[in-house]
Amino acid sequence: MSGESAAARELLAGAVRVVVFTGAGVSAESGVPTFRGPGGLWKTFRPEQLATPEAFARDPRLVWEWYGWRRGLLAACRPNLAHVAIARWMLRRGGVALVTQNVDDLHERGALEAATGLAREGRLRVAAGPAGAPASEEARAAAPDASPLHDDELPVEKIAAAAARVAPIRLHGSIFHVRCTNCRARSEHRAPLDASSEATLPRCGACGGLLRPDVVWFGEALPEGALEAAFGAAARADVCLVVGTAGAVQPAAALVHETAGGGGRVIVVDPGETAYDAMADVRLWGAAGEVVPGLLRDV
Ligand code: APR
C-alpha cells in the first residue's frame, strides 16, 4: 500500500464525521461521460443550447431529446466498484454524508447492491439515529453480524430501508425526476420519452403544464434544502473525501473549502488535475473504481 493510501486510511479511520463529495468522474467507469474530460458532454454539446432555462424556453423539444438520450445511456449503465464501496462503507460505519453533483442514479443503485451484498453476508445493520450521524460504539457492538442469507431469504424491505439511509444529498437534481413549469409539482419520471414534437413532451398530471427535467441548469439556484444540508455536513466534517470532480462549477465546488476552513482534512481521488490539488492533504492519483474500494475496505 502506498504511503498516500495509508495516510488517507488513517485520516478516515480517525474521523468521527466524513463528507464524501462526488462528481461525474465517479460514474465514468460505468460508461457515463464526464463534462469536461476527453469525450466529455461539453466537448460535444453546447451547454447554452441544452442546459439553461432559456434553452428550454426556446426549444423544449431539443432539450428533452437530449435528456432522453442521456437517460437511455444511463439505463444501460451499472453502478461501479466505487459507488458500491462508498455505500457499503456508509452502511457499516455511520457518520458519513454523501453529496453528489451527479444527476444519474448510480449512487442509489450502488447502495441497493451494497445493502444486498451485506444482507447476503449477514452483515447488514440498520443503524439507529439520523442518516450521517456517527454510529455509537454501543450501536455497532449491539448489532453483531448475523449468519449469511440465501437469496430467497433476503429482507427486501430492510435492504431498501438501508439503501435509502445512505442516499446522496443531490446538489444538481436528478435526471429521473421532473418538475412542472406551471404548478412546480415534482415527481419521479422514468417513462420512455417521445421528443418527436412539442405535443408529445411529458405533461403534468395535475395541471397539464409542460414538465421539465428536475435538474439544476446553468444560471439556476441550487435546491435550498440540499445546499444547506450539504454545506452543513461539510462544515462539521473532520474529513472531506473528494472523488471525481474537477471542482469547476460553483457554488457546489466551494463545499470542500467548508471542511478545510473548519480545520478538517481533504483527500482527493482523481486521475487528472482538479481545482483542489493544492489544498489536498492527501492526493490519490487514480480512477475511482480502482482506488476507492481499497481505500475504504475495513476502515
Ligand atoms: N475516476 C475518478 N475521476 C475521474 C475518472 C475516474 N474513472 N475519470 C475522469 N475523472 C475526473 C476528471 O479528471 C475530472 O477531474 O472526473 C472529473 C470530472 O470533471 P467534470 O467533467 O468537470 O465534471 P464535474 O466536476 O462533475 O462537473 C461539475 O458541472 O457541467 C456541470 O452540472 C454539471 O454537475 C456538473 C458540474
Name the residue at shortest CA distance from atom 6 of ligand 1. Answer: 287
- Return the amino acid letter for 136: S
Q: Which of 286, 258, 283 is nearest to 268 (CA)?
A: 283
Name the residue at shortest CA distance from atom 8 of ligand 1. Answer: 25
Name the residue at shortest CA distance from atom 10 of ligand 1. Answer: 25
pLDDT tens sequence across 127-150? 555 555 555 555 555 555 667 777
Q: Which of 67, 22, 287 is nearest to 167 (CA)?
A: 22
**How much distance in Å is there from the Cα of 270 to the middle of ligand 1?**
9
Contact between residue 9 and residue 282 where contact means Cβ atoms under 8 Å apart = no
Contact between residue 82 and residue 111 where contact means Cβ atoms under 8 Å apart = no
What's the distance, CA 151 to chain centroid?
27
Give me the residues paired with residue 269 across strands: 243, 284
- Check pocket membership of 271 for ligand 1, CB cut-off 6 A: yes
Low-confidence ranges of the chain (pLDDT < 50): none
Atom of ligand 1 at shortest range from CA of 246: 15
What does the block give as the cell for 271?
486521475
Q: Which of 49, 203, 26, 185 is nearest to 104 (CA)?
A: 26
Q: Which of 138, 148, 101 is nearest to 244 (CA)?
A: 101
- Check pocket membership of 33 for ligand 1, CB cut-off 6 A: no
Q: Which of 223, 182, 174 is nearest to 204 (CA)?
A: 182
* pLDDT attached to residue 136: 53
Q: Is the peptide bond before 251 cis (omega within 30 degrees of 0)?
A: yes
Residue 83 among the catalytic residues? no
**How much distance in Å is there from the Cα of 1 to the middle of ligand 1?**
26
- Alpha carbon distance 216, 172 (integer Å): 5
Ligand 1 binding pocket mutation candidate from 67, 215, 270 (most atoms within 8 A of CB): 270
The 169-170 sheet, strands edge to edge? 169-170, 96-100, 18-22, 239-243, 265-269, 282-284
pLDDT tens sequence across 31-76? 998 888 777 777 777 878 889 999 999 999 999 999 999 999 999 9
Name the residue at shortest CA distance from atom 15 of ligand 1. Answer: 246
Q: Which of 110, 209, 211 is nearest to 168 (CA)?
A: 110
Backbone angles phi, psi at 137, to 5 degrees: -55, -40
**How much distance in Å is there from the Cα of 25 to the middle of ligand 1?**
4
Catalytic choice (83, 107, 150, 172): 172
- Check pocket membership of 172 for ligand 1, CB cut-off 6 A: yes
Backbone angles phi, psi at 192, to 5 degrees: -55, 145
Contact between residue 279 and residue 260 where contact means Cβ atoms under 8 Å apart = yes
- Check pocket membership of 30 for ligand 1, CB cut-off 6 A: no
Kindly state the helix (H) or strand (E) to which residue 270 belongs, with its residue range. Answer: none
* pLDDT attached to residue 127: 54
- Check pocket membership of 288 for ligand 1, CB cut-off 6 A: yes
Rounded to 10 deg, the angle between the 106-120 and 156-165 helix axes is 130
CA trace torsion 81, 94, 111, 1 (10° rounding)? 0
- Check pocket membership of 22 for ligand 1, CB cut-off 6 A: no
* pLDDT attached to residue 137: 52
